[in-house]
Amino acid sequence: MIKYYTPQDMTLWSGRIDDENDFSAFRWHQWVQRMDLNDESLKPFDGKMVFGILGFESDQGIELNKGRYGASAGPFAIRKELSKLPCQFNQNTKIFDCGNVTSKYTSLVEAQNALAEAVKKILSLNLFPILLGGGHEIAFGHYKGLSNYLMDRKKKNLGIVSFDAHFDLRPYDKEKGGTSGTMFRQIADLCQERGDKYNYFVMGIQKHSNTQSLFDTADNLGAHYILAKDIINSDIHKIEQKLEDYIKDLDEIYITICSDVLSTAYAPGVSAPQPLGLDPEKILILLKKVLQSGKVLSFDIAEVSPRFDHDSITANMASILIYAVVTSLANHIFD
């Protein structure tokens, strides 16, 4: 049984109804179904495009990192925006709401372990995981679940593609666990412990948001990174080529988006706002480039903090990025 887990109350999925029978008029709230991951009668799906949404209700990592808490309400806010989306895919595409893991009643370490177990369960059911944060500490539990799943299948070369203003490679106490600023260093240590290659590519880094020590750590770990200003000012095709070079030797890819990579014009509701952040159109181009590889195993978006949002702009932006992932994979259209 997965600890610190609750299935979703589906009354949240509601909205306008244009037609109760014509699928072409459906919105997500009419199509998303409930799934209880602790239901022992669940059987793997047969390989059709099936997505599993899972929330991580936590901002413990943000508080430990001395950031602005509030992202634990992110999964609720994102689901509200997802409910309104049109079903721009065929009826073979299924979407399940797999509930939430919370850190409210336990330590962050235990919550991340529970999240890892939930991710592994979703993958074992042949679902594509879409995780909703919550603080970016979601990344360590998410990656650990992916790694555990792939370890059973003897696949080793898992790579991270991250969109983030921060490296999140800070030092941490191995006894106490990490924060929302340490996950990718924790992942590096996990890879070393398991004899796996550490593959980390992060786009959107802000020089004013990272110490020189963090740049040095990234270099020492062999991380790949592109500054936000270089994405803004460069030919996007050059960035796409760097992505291609990185992903060509990977077996599987985990995509993670920290909402603070975006300009505050598009994402005011985050722990660390970025006035000089990225335009979402650039992110969509690069996101679809990675999806086009056919290697993407899982996706999450983190740091949506309704407490600081304006008119649900940030939650809506997150829902649009998720919409792009689902429709691109379901329809095999990446432009």
Q: Which residues are annotated as a binding site?
A: 136, 164, 166, 168, 258, 260
Token couple for 331: 């329809």
Distances (CA, A) of 191 to 1, 145, 195, 255: 26, 13, 6, 17
Q: Phi first, then psi: what are they for 5, rounded to 5°?
A: -125, 140
Q: Phi first, then psi: what are they for 186, rounded to 5°?
A: -60, -40
Distance (Å, rounded) from C-alpha 300 to C-alpha 65? 20
Distance (Å, rounded) from C-alpha 147 to C-alpha 150? 5
Tell me the binding residues for Mn(2+).
Answer: 136, 164, 166, 168, 258, 260
Is the Cα torsion angle 205, 209, 212, 213 positive or negative in sign? negative
Q: Phi first, then psi: what are they for 318, rounded to 5°?
A: -60, -40
Distance (Å, rounded) from C-alpha 183 to C-alpha 180? 6
Distance (Å, rounded) from C-alpha 162 to C-alpha 325? 14
Token couple for 319: 């829902």
Distance (Å, rounded) from C-alpha 83 to C-alpha 264? 24
For residue 40, the tally of other CB atoms under 10 A from its CB is 6
Distance (Å, rounded) from C-alpha 146 to C-alpha 238? 30
Q: Which of 173, 151, 162 is nearest to 204 (CA)?
A: 162
245: Cα separation from own chain's centroid = 22
β-strand pairing of 94-102 with 33-34: parallel
